[in-house]
């Protein structure tokens, strides 16, 4: 009985050690072997050493997000950031890119979650428009006709709203509740996390910035505004392949 308990204690110690060292080994491996992360001008930059976060650094922005905060644990997080009380074209376009990115992961999709970190409190109306546009605008992108493209570009602008009539037009005969369902988890960071993100960016947090966070809560990569969705996908697929966590 004593021997079994000692074995369990050793396994627990090794597990804790592994959880601590794995993200640093990933970062070191990528630093020493940059070929593992393909890409040129738009590829991400490693955050070395990784910046740790705690589950308590995040809280739900709205009731949906509060109910789904447990989804952050144990998943790779594709994390947009909205730094201001407005989300202009480059900010909203970044949200839509990560929606596309997650779908491109195919069988690896369940290992990821998409979140947006809202740094400043927007008006309820503004936030509602952000989430509506994130949920619906992909429908205009996929048609590839001039009229839909013009409407898409128009709705990227903060001042142009999606109203009830446009919702009906965009979803057609689909079930409204299903069509408006969103997988985007909206989170508010505490002061500690804001300080860490600000530190990574040396005080400058631009619209459209993107982070990758590993399943242990470490910020490990960052992407500048205007990032290339396909290059982020390449980076993330490499990370998923070499990682034994999440």
> 188-197 burial string, b = 16+ CB within 10 Å, else e?
bbeeebbebb
Which of 164, 169, 157 shows the shortest CA–CA distance to 126? 157
Q: Cis link prior to 49 (omega < 30° from 0)?
A: yes
Domain that holds residue 131: 2-242
Rounded CA-CA distance 117/46 in Å is 19
What pLDDT is stored for residue 245 in this prediction? 77
What pLDDT is stored for residue 93 in this prediction? 95
| Residue 35's CATH number | 3.40.30.10
Q: What pTM was computed for the model?
A: 0.82
Average pLDDT by stretches of 10, the chain with 246 residues: 55 54 56 47 81 96 96 96 96 96 95 97 96 94 84 94 95 92 96 96 94 97 96 95 81
What pLDDT is stored for residue 243 in this prediction? 86
What pLDDT is stored for residue 142 in this prediction? 73
- The number of distinct structural domains making up the chain is 1
What pLDDT is stored for residue 208 in this prediction? 96
What pLDDT is stored for residue 41 in this prediction? 38
């Amino acid at each position: 009985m004593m021997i079994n308990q000692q074995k369990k204690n050793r396994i627990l110690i090794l597990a804790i050690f592994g959880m601590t060292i794995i993200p640093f080994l990933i970062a070191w491996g990528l630093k020493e072997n940059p070929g593992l992360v393909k890409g040129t001008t738009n590829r991400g930059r490693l955050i070395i050493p990784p910046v740790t976060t705690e589950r308590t650094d995040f809280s739900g922005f709205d009731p949906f997000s509060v109910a789904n905060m447990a989804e952050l644990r144990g998943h790779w997080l594709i994390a947009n950031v909205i730094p201001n009380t407005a989300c202009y074209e480059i900010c909203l376009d970044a949200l839509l890119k990560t929606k596309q990115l997650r779908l491109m992961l195919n069988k690896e999709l369940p290992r990821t979650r998409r979140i947006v970190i809202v740094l400043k409190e927007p008006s309820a109306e503004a936030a509602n428009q952000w989430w509506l546009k994130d949920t619906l605008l992909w429908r205009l992108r996929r048609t590839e006709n001039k009229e839909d493209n013009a409407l898409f570009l128009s709705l990227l602008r903060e001042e142009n709203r999606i109203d009830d009539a446009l919702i009906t037009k965009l979803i057609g005969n689909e079930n409204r509740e299903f069509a408006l369902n969103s997988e985007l988890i909206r989170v508010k960071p505490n002061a500690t996390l804001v300080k860490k993100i600000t530190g990574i960016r040396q005080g400058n947090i631009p619209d459209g910035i993107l982070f990758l966070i590993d399943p242990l809560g470490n910020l490990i990569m960052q992407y500048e505004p205007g990032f290339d969705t396909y290059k982020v996908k390449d980076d993330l697929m490499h990370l998923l392949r070499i990682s034994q966590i999440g």
